[in-house]
Homo-oligomer: A and B are copies of this chain.
Amino acid sequence: MNHSERLAQSGELLTSAEEKNVMAYKQALIVRTDLGMGKGKIAAQCAHGSISAYLKADSESRAAWVNSGMEKVVLKVQSEKELATLFQKAKKAGLPAAIITDAGHTQIAPGTKTVVGIGPAEEDELDALTGDLKLL
């Protein structure tokens, strides 16, 4: 599958296709499904993960990602262990990554880890870590 086909299939390219000859930057938001969070809660946690990871990226990656439409993909894992492992792997790979801990005012217990945001990062590097995960 080529780059454009993957982008089309991934479905979360929000504003524009990438040029073939431009390095593709992407962000992954990985959500725990075992917590039974509602859709509003998931959206808030993902927005939090998105900005937190963005703020950890270097300025070049930020600009490349923003200027190419902020492609992102929302994926799922089924446990805190899987979430924590992905976070550690991302950090080890040198990618900007943030793990979100909920304040627990609603729905779930305080201190619960809910979402990991990784990137913006080069698509190939991100896919190496997250390519096996399913879309939420």
Contacts and interface: CB of A to CB of B under 8 A. Distances in A.
A132 to B, nearest CB: 17
A48 B70 contact: yes
Contact of A43 (B17, B55, B136): B136
A92 interface: no
Contacts of A44: 12, 14, 29, 46, 72-74
Contacts of A106: 11-12, 15
A105 B15 contact: yes
Interface in A28-70: 29, 31, 38-52, 54-55, 66, 69-70
Most B Cβ at <10 Å: residue of A16, A55, A76, A105: A105
Interface of A is mostly: mixed
B105 A48 contact: no
Nearest to A111: B11
Interface string A80-118: 000000000000000000001111111100110000000
Interface string A18-35: 000000000101010000
A10 interface: yes
Q: List the 7 closest pairs (A to B, CB-CB), nearest first.
A: A11-B106, A40-B136, A47-B50, A10-B103, A43-B46, A11-B101, A39-B39
